[in-house]
Amino acid sequence: MSSNSDFVFGRHAGLDFLKTQDPEKVNKVFLQKGVREDFANQVYQLARKKHLIVQNVPKNKLDQLTDNGNHQGLVLAVSSFEYAVFDELLDKLESDGKEPFLLMLDSIEDPHNLGSILRTCDATGVDGVIIPQRRASGLTSVVAKTSTGAIDYVPVARVNNLVQTTKILKDRGYWLFGTAMQGQDYRQWDAKGKTVLVIGNEGKGISPLLLKQMDQTLTIPMIGHVQSLNASVATGVLLYQMFASRHQGK
């Protein structure tokens, strides 16, 4: 297997990748022996259209490739996931005449959280995601599986230093909003204009130096006994407030 390969696995993510991506991005298609005939036919039809060979393999081969992930009988060996170049992403978005909405993730470590967040980003029209190069999940096969294909539609830029990146964004006219225990009720948040939402680490929240760069902080009121939400759930709540404020009457 090429060292430049990663894996997309699972029926939804795998079929979506075969439908939407250039065949050059697919190195191999592995299909489990004995899967349902209608599903196998789908895989063969898509592979035939893109001149890809399907290799029938036993389940334990797919278990090995995915580290016992929930592959559902389909694994694609694909070219390594590509990141957007931060400066180029901003230039492209702004040249389109948009007032972009970006999501910055401060050291989200769980790939399942990152995948779920990308799925919500796709649903709510987030223009790009910014993640740090170190101490955070990158784009992996688990992220791809959890995102159910959204990884192919939401640009993700990886940067060296989030604090320095916020300063660049401010210079370009973006407003930065971060999550915190104390802040404006998220239900009053107006997310119009060039906006960046910053989500903190699952356990520690936004790092102190990064928090100082925020123009405003947002909080999600809670009346239960547990005063915290999973990072992907909190992100989803805030992104739908963004969606509501930017798409009123649409």
| pLDDT, mean of each 10-residue run, the chain (250 residues) | 67 89 87 94 94 94 90 90 92 89 94 94 96 89 86 93 97 95 90 95 89 94 76 94 85
Spatial distance between the Cα atoms of 147 and 143, rounded to a whole number of angstroms: 6
105 HSE (CA, 13 A, CB side): 33
Q: At how many degrees (to 10) do helices 231-246 and 111-124 cross?
A: 10
pLDDT value at position 2? Answer: 39
| Upper half-sphere CA count for residue 179 (Cβ side, 13 Å) | 28
What pLDDT, on a 0 to 100 scale, did the predictor assign at position 3?
A: 40
Residue 249's pLDDT is 60
Whole-number pLDDT of residue 144:
86
Domains of the chain listed by start with CATH number: 5-79 (3.30.1330.30), 86-246 (3.40.1280.10)
Per-residue pLDDT, 181:
81
For 41, 99, 173, 190, 236, the CA distances from 245, given in Å and listed in that order, are 44, 13, 19, 6, 14
Number of other CB atoms surrounding residue 24 within 10 Å: 8
Q: How far is CA 240 from the centre of its chain?
A: 16
Q: Is the four-CA dihedral 188, 208, 86, 94 of positive or negative sign?
A: positive
- Looking at residue 221, what is its pLDDT? 87
pTM for the model stands at 0.76
Q: What is the DSSP letter of 2?
A: -
